[in-house]
């Protein structure tokens, strides 16, 4: 199918300024998309209220509007510019929400503007929890079982039905206050009492707990000819419970067998086909570490933070390809360097993503993590082993660390560290490293954090290398092995008590 | 070269290049020459290790971390692996997966497979891409390289691989609701093909590679299946002749080597690719539907498109990376073959519809019988 000739002017909505919970990744995606559209000969009108991005540089789009990203302003621009089409799903949730509002208010219809890429019905089906649950059930894809309850008695029955442990989520309480995990009926009754009391509508959602499950993501892309492929998959270091934006993430997955990898790949492709997404899409799974049971956590039918990471990790420009799919091209018609966009990248390296938190700027904010994202940026590193990749990421963070070592943990005892790592904090990986340095036990750490032993052993390998270095000061064989593991000159110099330049 | 105490083995290629590393698996296995090839799958080393198509080959895994999830009880493609060697960047002997029952190292020891880790596999893969698949050997680090290269150059790779990996006796695999009887010629068949057919209500009689046409005919099959397998299809002329006698009598489906055998039986030609296709990310275009499948691949030889012109076979699938022939069909004779692996294991599971197609051809055939 050739590209669309009936449209000429395309509007793109950006993601606005950088805020906590939404980093600069959408500028990267948006820029790529604008350039891709221009490359195909379309006129690009960009709305983005962020002057601090290259995206709003006049060379990227033909016209740039640096106006507030509100319905009112965008509608005004549309009425003035009369674009033929609008490409949503490039400016993250902000851009997508605005496009949906414009559609609902009839602005798009009034001005004869067509929505490119994924249809608004599909977006709604992916974003509305109930509609999404219905869709998943209709194609036999498992979502986390849950029931809405209005009394303790109902809650008890619901918990038995979905199976312990469960999470109680009271409706309409600020930040989910009053909810919590229940391992048993006794817990449920205790927490349930306050949950019902705190909810203004006395409504509590009883949901099966998937705490400790592996969090796995797939980046998939589909064109209107129904060709769908996987760009890559990713595995979170932190199990389900910490927002993936706040988690250390490895790409590709590290602990899945071929069967599990393909099972989730098939599921992601079934979903993107059922949703009729045209463009990139992110699917998040919770996978039981002790069985092949999995649940779909959520789907983002747009270019997302994860897709920016997946693009850079795999070399596959998801935003660029999504934009071209939007104007009618098929995956096998889009040329990427020396190959077509219809292949799946095969990596021969490991990518680590580490989130960067603003706690150094907001010193009074608690550094505990949860289901709401707190990171404002992230670093990505590439290595041939997990150790090398992880250490590179640590050094790139600009937090003053050049190794898996932070002074503040050195003074803590093992007991204090064991206690510290049960809290989900931004610096937990450093605390785990210090604990292993002090002889901490991998199984105990695993029991407390549910972090996969494979990842913990990788940290242990680094710690073991430290002690081998200490025992073999000046040994060139040792140096070779340490460097191959990705240990910095500075860290080796520290262990060998010499100058970095000497190394 | 720097002396590194942990390195005890070296990999020597026919072109004289040497890669030092650390041995794993059966370090005392008989030193033997193998053909070195590479695979780009990030997962699936267990299926690769146990795939009979890799007989006498040493596989370089392009993905650097191997061993992470161990070896499971269920994911073998054959009970006795015949691969020659595994060549990896990093071997992980502490697997983490609930299904893992063994480490890769333990299994390789059991089947006398040598492994070498710590290799710069990125450089090695480039080497093979530039120079082509070639003969290689893994020896102790102290061996003389020049002598080994001389030995490599003189070595003739065996041509009897199919007869070594094929079942020696007929074996039947039944399904509770068997509707179709498939006779499968075992040239080194992967178990997941049998599972894929049994799941679709087939009773599968797997027969040795050299079973005569008359014998197959007397088993009264609804369809004939030609399996994957190692080596050059020209080495198994008997099977090509058998197919020539049987085609047209019932639907025939060939995978990989089976697809090449089917093509050869119609007079098509095959040629050897420089470094073959091995991995789980190859895009294939189905020329009938214009849809694209991501496929699992493992082959050194390909069917020559030009040579198909004088046969009743039509090209049905193309590889979008290099435009090689990936599927052929003759509607008249109810035969078709694909160069890739719809049974996956390892790799994407986009192409299961080909088994369904085989079933519907058999269903049609039964109706007319």
CATH code at position A276: 3.30.470.20
In the prediction, which pLDDT does A337 show?
Answer: 84
In the prediction, which pLDDT does A351 show?
Answer: 98
Q: Please report residues of A whose CB lies closer than 8 A to that of B98.
A: 289-291
Residues A86 and A171 in one domain: no
Asked if residue A3 has pLDDT above 90, the reply is no
* Residue A240 in domain: yes
pLDDT score, position A28: 82
Q: Which domain holds residue A26?
A: 9-116
Nearest to B349 among A227, A262, A385 (CB): A262
Query: B129 in a domain, yes or no?
Result: yes
A237-269 pLDDT, tens digit each: 999 988 888 999 999 999 999 999 999 999 999
Q: What pLDDT band is residue A303 in, cutting at 50, 70 and 90?
A: confident
Q: What is the DSSP string of B196-263?
A: HHHHTTEEEEEEETT--HHHHHHT--SEEEE---SS-GGGGHHHHHHHHHHBTTB-EEEETHHHHHHH
In a domain, B4, yes or no: no
Give the number of residues written for chain A: 503
**A contact test, residue of B75, B77, B285, B292 with most A CBs within 10 A:** B292
Question: Higher model confidence: residue A373 or residue B323?
Answer: B323
Q: What is the pLDDT of residue A171?
A: 83
B1 touches chain A (CB under 8 A): no
pLDDT at A497 over 70: yes
Report the CATH number that the domain containing residue B258 is assigned in CATH.
Answer: 3.40.50.880
- Is B102 part of the contact surface with chain A (CB cutoff 8 Å)? no
pLDDT value, residue B2? 43
Lowest-pLDDT choice from A129-138, A436-445, A446-455, B18-27 = A129-138
Statement to judge: residues A419 and A284 lie in one domain? no
Q: Which of B2, B4, B22, B65 to probe by mutation at the A interface, max A CB count within 10 Å?
A: B65
Across residues A469-479, what is the average pLDDT?
A: 93
Percent of chain B having pLDDT more than 90? 95
Lowest mean pLDDT among A39-48, A49-58, A218-227: A49-58
Give the pLDDT confidence score for residue B109 in this predicted structure: 98
Work out the minimum CA distance from A14 to partner chain B, whole angstroms. 32
Mean pLDDT calculated for residue range A445-455: 97
Q: How far does CA A183 lie from the centroid of its chain?
A: 28
Residue among A32, A33, A25 at smallest CA distance from A50: A25
| pLDDT given at position B369 | 65
Same domain, B144 and B167: no
Q: How many domains does chain A have?
A: 4
Specify whether B198 is located in the same domain as B133: no
On the question of pLDDT at B1 being above 70, the answer is no
Q: What is the pTM of this model?
A: 0.94
Which of residues 109 through 138 in chain B touch A, CB cutoff 8 A? Answer: 121-122, 125
Q: What is the pLDDT of residues A374-399, one digit of tens each?
A: 888 889 999 999 999 999 999 999 88
Residue A14: is its pLDDT beyond 90?
A: no
Mean pLDDT of A416-445: 96
Residue keyed to tokens 């290259």: A54
- Alpha carbon distances (Å) from B1 to A102, A145, B18, B133: 67, 60, 11, 26
For residues A272 and A224, membership in a common domain is answered with yes
- In the block, tokens 């083995």 appear at B9
Question: Do residue B106 and residue B177 come from a single domain?
Answer: no
Say which of A265, A453, A477 has its CB closest to residue B348: A265
Assess whether A179 and A234 both reside in one domain: no
pLDDT, residue B5, reads 63
- ipTM, two decimals, is 0.95
B10-62 pLDDT, tens digit per residue, is 999 999 999 999 999 999 988 999 999 999 999 999 999 999 999 999 999 99
- Segment B292-316 shows an average pLDDT of 96
pLDDT tens digit sequence for B225-272: 999 999 999 999 999 999 999 999 999 999 999 999 999 999 999 999
**A74-86, pLDDT tens digit by residue?**
999 999 999 999 9
Q: pLDDT band for position A174 (50/70/90)?
A: low
- A92 sits in the region (left: phi over 0; alpha: psi -120 to 50; else beta) called left
Q: What percent of chain B has pLDDT over 70?
A: 98
Q: Is the pLDDT of residue B3 over 70?
A: no
Question: Who has greater pLDDT, A200 or B299?
Answer: B299
Asked if residue A54 is part of any domain, the answer here is yes
Per the DSSP assignment, residues forming a β-bridge with B303 are B270
In the predicted structure, residue A189 carries a pLDDT above the cut 50:
yes
- The enclosing domain of A19 has a CATH number of 3.40.50.20
Q: Which among A56, A80, A55 has a CA at the least distance from the CA of A66?
A: A56
DSSP for residue B343: T
Interchain proximity A290–B121, CB inside 8 Å = no
Average pLDDT, chain A: 91
Interatomic CA distance for residues A108 and B255, integer angstroms? 51
Range of the domain at B20: 9-154
B16 and B124 housed in the same domain: yes
Q: Are residues A159 and A233 in the same domain?
A: no
Give the side-chain half-sphere CA count within 13 A for B280: 28
Does pLDDT of B103 surpass 50? yes
Are the C-beta atoms of A148 and A136 separated by less than 8 Å? no
The domain tally of chain B equals 2
Q: Is residue A225 part of a domain?
A: yes
Among A79, A80, A26, A20, CA closest to A49: A26
Q: Is B324 exposed, middle or buried (0-12, 13-18, 19+ CB in 10 A)?
A: buried
Residue B101 near chain A (CB below 8 Å):
no
């Amino acid at each position: 199918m050739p590209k669309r000739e009936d449209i000429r002017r395309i509007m793109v909505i950006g993601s606005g300024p950088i805020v906590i919970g939404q980093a600069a990744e959408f500028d990267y995606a948006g820029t790529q998309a604008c350039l891709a559209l221009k490359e195909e000969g379309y006129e690009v009108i960009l709305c983005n209220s962020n002057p601090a991005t290259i995206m709003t540089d006049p060379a990227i789009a033909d016209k740039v509007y640096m106006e507030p990203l509100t319905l009112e302003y965008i509608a005004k621009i549309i009425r003035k510019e009369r674009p033929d089409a609008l490409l949503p799903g490039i400016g993250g949730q902000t851009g997508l929400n605005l496009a949906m509002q414009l559609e609902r208010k009839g602005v798009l219809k009034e001005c004869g503007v067509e929505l490119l890429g994924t249809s608004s019905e599909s977006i709604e089906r992916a974003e509305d929890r109930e509609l999404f649950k219905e869709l998943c059930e209709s194609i036999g894809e498992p979502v986390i079982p849950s029931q809405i309850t209005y009394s303790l008695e109902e809650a008890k029955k619901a918990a038995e039905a979905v199976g312990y442990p469960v999470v109680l989520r009271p409706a309409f309480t600020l930040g989910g206050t009053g909810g919590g995990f229940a391992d048993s009926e006794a817990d449920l009754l205790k927490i349930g009492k306050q949950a019902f009391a705190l909810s203004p509508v006395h409504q509590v959602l009883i949901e099966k707990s998937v705490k400790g499950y592996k969090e796995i993501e797939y980046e998939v892309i589909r064109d209107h000819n129904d060709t769908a492929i996987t760009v890559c998959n990713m595995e979170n270091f932190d199990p389900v419970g910490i927002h993936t934006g706040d988690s250390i993430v490895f790409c590709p997955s590290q602990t899945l067998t071929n069967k599990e990898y393909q099972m989730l790949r098939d599921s992601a492709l079934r979903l993107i086909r059922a949703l009729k997404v045209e463009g990139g899409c992110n699917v998040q799974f919770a996978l039981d570490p002790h069985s092949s049971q999995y649940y779909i956590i959520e789907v983002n039918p747009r270019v997302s933070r994860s897709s920016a990471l997946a693009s850079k990790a795999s070399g596959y420009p998801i935003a660029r390809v999504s934009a071209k799919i939007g104007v009618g091209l098929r995956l096998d018609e889009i040329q990427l360097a020396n190959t077509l966009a219809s292949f799946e990248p095969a990596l021969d390296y490991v990518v680590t993503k580490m989130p960067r938190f603003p706690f150094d700027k907001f010193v009074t904010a608690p550094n505990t993590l949860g289901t709401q994202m707190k990171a404002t940026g992230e670093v990505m590193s590439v290595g041939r082993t997990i150790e090398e990749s992880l250490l590179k990421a640590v050094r790139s963070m600009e937090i003053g660390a050049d190794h898996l070592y932070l002074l503040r943990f050195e003074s803590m005892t093992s007991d204090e560290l064991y206690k510290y790592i049960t809290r989900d904090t931004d610096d937990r990986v450093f605390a785990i490293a210090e604990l292993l340095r002090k002889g901490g036990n991998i199984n105990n750490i695993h029991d407390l954090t549910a972090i996969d032993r494979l990842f913990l052993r990788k940290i242990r390998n680094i710690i073991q290398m430290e002690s081998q270095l200490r025992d073999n000061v000046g040994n060139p064989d040792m140096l070779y092995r340490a460097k191959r593991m990705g240990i910095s000159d500075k860290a080796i110099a520290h262990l060998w008590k010499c100058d970095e330049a000497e190394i | 070269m720097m002396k590194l105490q942990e390195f005890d083995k070296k990999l020597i290629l026919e072109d004289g290049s040497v890669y030092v590393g650390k041995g794993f698996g059966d370090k005392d296995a008989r030193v033997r020459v193998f053909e070195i090839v590479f695979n780009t799958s990030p997962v699936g080393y267990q299926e690769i290790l146990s795939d009979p198509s890799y007989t006498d080959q040493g596989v370089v895994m392009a993905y650097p971390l191997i061993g992470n999830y161990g070896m499971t009880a269920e994911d073998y493609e054959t009970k006795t692996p015949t691969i020659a060697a595994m060549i990896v960047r990093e071997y992980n002997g502490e697997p983490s997966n609930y299904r893992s029952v063994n480490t890769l190292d333990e299994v390789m020891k059991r089947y006398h497979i040598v492994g070498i880790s710590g290799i710069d596999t990125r450089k090695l893969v480039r080497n093979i891409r530039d120079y082509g698949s070639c003969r290689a050997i893994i020896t102790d680090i102290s061996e003389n390289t020049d002598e080994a290269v001389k030995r490599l150059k003189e070595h003739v790779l065996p041509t009897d691989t199919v007869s070594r990996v094929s079942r020696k006796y007929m074996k039947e695999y039944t399904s509770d609701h068997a509707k179709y009887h498939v006779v499968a010629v075992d040239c080194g068949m992967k178990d997941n093909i049998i599972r894929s057919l049994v799941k679709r209500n087939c009773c599968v009689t797997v027969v040795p590679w050299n079973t005569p046409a008359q014998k197959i005919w007397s088993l009264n099959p609804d369809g004939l299946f030609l399996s994957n397998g190692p080596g050059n299809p020209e080495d198994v002329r008997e099977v090509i002749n058998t197919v020539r006698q049987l085609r047209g009598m019932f639907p025939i489906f060939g995978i990989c080597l089976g697809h090449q055998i089917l093509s050869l039986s119609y007079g098509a030609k095959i040629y050897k690719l420089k470094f073959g296709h091995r991995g789980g990310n190859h895009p294939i275009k189905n020329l009938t539907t214009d849809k694209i499948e991501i496929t699992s691949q493992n082959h050194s030889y390909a069917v020559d498109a030009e040579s198909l012109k004088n046969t009743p076979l039509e090209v049905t699938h193309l590889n979008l990376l290099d435009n090689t022939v990936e599927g052929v069909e003759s509607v008249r004779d109810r035969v078709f073959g694909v160069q890739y692996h719809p049974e996956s294991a390892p790799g994407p599971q986009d192409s299961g519809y080909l088994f369904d197609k085989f079933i519907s051809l058999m269903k049609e055939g039964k109706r007319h019988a």
